């Protein structure tokens, strides 16, 4: 059980770099314009998990 706790703790302690404009441009080239959202109103649907 302690091993699982350490794995979860390690996951939560990760720090991620911000998504830059360059990354967004590359993502759009890969997946298409319609699949990359940058409008705050459009992102609200993805701001939480459904329960």
Query: How many angstroms separate the CA atoms of 43 and 19, rounded?
Result: 14
Query: How many angstroms separate the CA atoms of 40 and 13, rounded?
Result: 26
Lowest mean pLDDT among 13-17, 19-23, 27-31, 44-48: 13-17
Per-residue pLDDT, averaged over 5-17, amounts to 65
Helix (H, G, I), strand (E, B) or coil at 36: coil
Per-residue pLDDT, averaged over 6-16, amounts to 64
The reported pLDDT for the residue numbered 32 is 97
Pull the structure tokens for residue 35.
Answer: 């699949």
């Amino acid at each position: 059980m302690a091993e699982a706790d350490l794995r979860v703790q390690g996951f939560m302690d990760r720090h991620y770099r911000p998504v830059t404009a360059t990354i967004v441009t590359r993502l759009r080239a890969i997946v298409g314009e319609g699949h990359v959202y940058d409008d705050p109103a459009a992102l609200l649907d993805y701001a939480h998990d459904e329960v």
